[in-house]
Chain A
């Protein structure tokens, strides 16, 4: 694999959950790439399918959910075709995940060292414990975790430290992708800021790709290189952080950015409040899922789902405002007339 081809290619990925109300379309025909060594922020209101997408990337969707369509190519291989053995190998060696709650994501009866040694040994049966310990020590040094922490149990560590251990568990086998699902959300602000810095350092040092899932768009501005914005199971916009923040194209992204409070005291402004509520994904709106709440909605928006359109180099948007359709002219003309 050369470095210009993306690490992960997600193609028309759909995930549905069977519920009493019918199938919930939690992720709907989402396509985007994760490049080598980038931090890609994935943002959107809670319930829009971010975690579902993250789990799908590790094939961790459990019943009643399932990946109902699409492809996930990792280094060109479709992970949806992996058998159990290959899948186990993929999880841990190629991709790994950090979860929201650091208090519960480590085994309470194992020390940090036992976690790390186990992670190595389940994937490399031939590695002897002393060798594993050697590697772990080097890794901890690079992560800035003190050696004395190896003997600690999870309950003896702070939240930030636990998340670093989780990161270490992701890196100990040189995985190329780390999915961090709200990994900093439960930490207090100062610890959160530190961990964000650290994630960037880790990316620089280890060259891993990080998919940073968060509902906090301000955090993405600080941490990510590119941003993917999701709304109600759909990808709505994708681009460089600077582009998205300076010139958001999708009305949803515009609304999202306008509703972020600023820290400038003098600039205290009325925050934008998006009208309406996110839809129930068991009965998503027709066409563009955002149209019932969209200030710029046209008649075509409720009838056809907009395709992905590269509005500027590297800046992609799913929105009828930026693309043509035979029915679009017709209807807008009629409305105008």
Chain B
């Protein structure tokens, strides 16, 4: 690794700190300007002022804003968010440690699927611009983009678990297996591998297939279009013409020269897609009863669980900041102009 690249990465990591601070501050502000009193909504309309004060005291909401803000920062940095208000009042840290891996396990294959299929078909369509395959790919990408995720999910459920019972309908694993399943990390696929539990691995993968495919496909539409547009532009650039004039084969010009340069805008989109992914995860998790963070958030919003919601969104913000950090580092590896 060159000195300049190392310098870039260190600078970028340091820059993440103010970025996370800003995000956390935004979450703090939003939670406080949102309409509705968390105490009232939690306890219902008919509580006495004394009862409300007890809860307010417990949540620290009676203290000055600046102290609350300090507390929230400490919570976020130490990952110690206190207990949830509902559903057994367990420590939120434990709940997130259970739900977040489920979402990540769903998202990673979805993103890989999206990136591979999206980039490949976008590049292929660009290479065959204005030929039938280009029109077909463009049409399909509009189609998957415009079908709502839960409709698509439902469709796949009907097709592949009801009509053709290939994949399980919902959940992360067969209930029978789950009873004896040892899950230290809550990433079921990883847990099954490290414990050498092969039937469980099969079950985890089978359960993962449909939701990951649905989520991935839903995200692919935009991706095909973005890759295609950027590739077309890239293929018209001078260095491609110059390469052609040197006798570099067309395939190499498309898949090596143009595509590698197109990765720069594509990476940005992958980073941004993580935000869309979270929205998609909520819908996918609901459709497939996937016990991840998306479903957790919806559930706790419905229960007006103030602490759980605030912590989850805070963690999510940090997650997005982390992804953006990783994307920028990848960026620097691909584009030499950034790291100098």
B202 interface contact, C-beta 8 A: no
A88 touches B242 (CB 8 A): no
Set B237, B261, B337: member contacting A155, Cβ < 8 A: B337
User: A11–B189 Cα gap in the complex (Å)?
Assistant: 69
Least CB distance, A99 to chain B, in whole angstroms: 6
Least CB distance, B28 to chain A, in whole angstroms: 41
A23 interface contact, C-beta 8 A: no
Cross-chain pairs A/B with CB under 8 angstroms, 7 sampled: A92-B247, A97-B242, A99-B241, A107-B261, A122-B246, A155-B336, A166-B242
B249 touches A99 (CB 8 A): no
Residues of chain B at interface, number, CB under 8 A: 21
B79 interface contact, C-beta 8 A: no
A88 touches B245 (CB 8 A): no
A111 and chain B: residue at smallest CB distance: B336
A5 interface contact, C-beta 8 A: no
B248 touches A106 (CB 8 A): no
B260 interface contact, C-beta 8 A: yes
Residues of B within 8 A of A89 (CB): 247
Residues of A within 8 A of B249 (CB): 88, 122
A100 and chain B: residue at smallest CB distance: B238
B339 and chain A: residue at smallest CB distance: A153
A91 touches B261 (CB 8 A): no
A108 touches B242 (CB 8 A): no
- Which 4 A-B residue pairings sit nearest by Cβ, starting from the closest? A92-B247, A91-B247, A104-B238, A153-B336
Residues of A within 8 A of B246 (CB): 91-92, 96, 119, 122, 169-170
B243 touches A107 (CB 8 A): yes
A108 touches B247 (CB 8 A): no
A226 interface contact, C-beta 8 A: no
B245 touches A108 (CB 8 A): no
With A155-B337, A156-B340 as given contacts, are A108 and B244 in contact (CB-CB < 8 Å)? no
Residues of A within 8 A of B238 (CB): 99, 101, 104-105
Residues of A within 8 A of B260 (CB): 109
Residues of A within 8 A of B182 (CB): none
User: A123–B249 Cα gap in the complex (Å)?
Assistant: 10
Q: Which residues of B contact A (CB under 8 A)?
A: 237-239, 241-249, 252, 257, 260-261, 334-337, 340
B239 and chain A: residue at smallest CB distance: A107
Given contacts A104-B239, A107-B243, A109-B336, 19 further A-B contacts (CB under 8 A): A60-B241, A88-B248, A88-B249, A92-B246, A92-B248, A99-B241, A101-B238, A104-B238, A105-B239, A105-B241, A106-B239, A107-B261, A109-B261, A109-B334, A109-B335, A118-B248, A122-B247, A123-B247, A169-B246
Residues of B within 8 A of A101 (CB): 238
Residues of chain A at interface, number, CB under 8 A: 31
User: A258–B241 Cα gap in the complex (Å)?
Assistant: 36
User: A170–B242 Cα gap in the complex (Å)?
Assistant: 10
Least CB distance, A174 to chain B, in whole angstroms: 13
With A108-B336, A109-B334, A122-B252 as given contacts, are A93 and B239 in contact (CB-CB < 8 Å)? no
A99 touches B242 (CB 8 A): yes
Most buried by A among B242, B252, B260, B337: B242
A58 interface contact, C-beta 8 A: yes
Set A87, A105, A109: member contacting B242, Cβ < 8 A: A105
Least CB distance, A221 to chain B, in whole angstroms: 27
Least CB distance, B75 to chain A, in whole angstroms: 43
Most buried by A among B243, B247, B261, B334: B247
A107 touches B257 (CB 8 A): yes
B261 touches A108 (CB 8 A): yes
User: A123–B244 Cα gap in the complex (Å)?
Assistant: 12
Most buried by A among B243, B245, B336: B245
User: A93–B245 Cα gap in the complex (Å)?
Assistant: 10
A90 touches B247 (CB 8 A): yes
Residues of B within 8 A of A96 (CB): 245-246
Least CB distance, A203 to chain B, in whole angstroms: 19
With A104-B238, A106-B239, A122-B252 as given contacts, are A58 and B245 in contact (CB-CB < 8 Å)? yes
Residues of A within 8 A of B237 (CB): 104
B334 and chain A: residue at smallest CB distance: A109
Least CB distance, A184 to chain B, in whole angstroms: 16
User: A141–B334 Cα gap in the complex (Å)?
Assistant: 29
Residues of B within 8 A of A118 (CB): 248
B245 touches A91 (CB 8 A): yes
Residues of B within 8 A of A170 (CB): 246
Residues of A within 8 A of B243 (CB): 107
User: A107–B248 Cα gap in the complex (Å)?
Assistant: 13
User: A99–B238 Cα gap in the complex (Å)?
Assistant: 8
Interface residues of A in 109-148 (CB under 8 A from B): 109-111, 118-119, 122-123
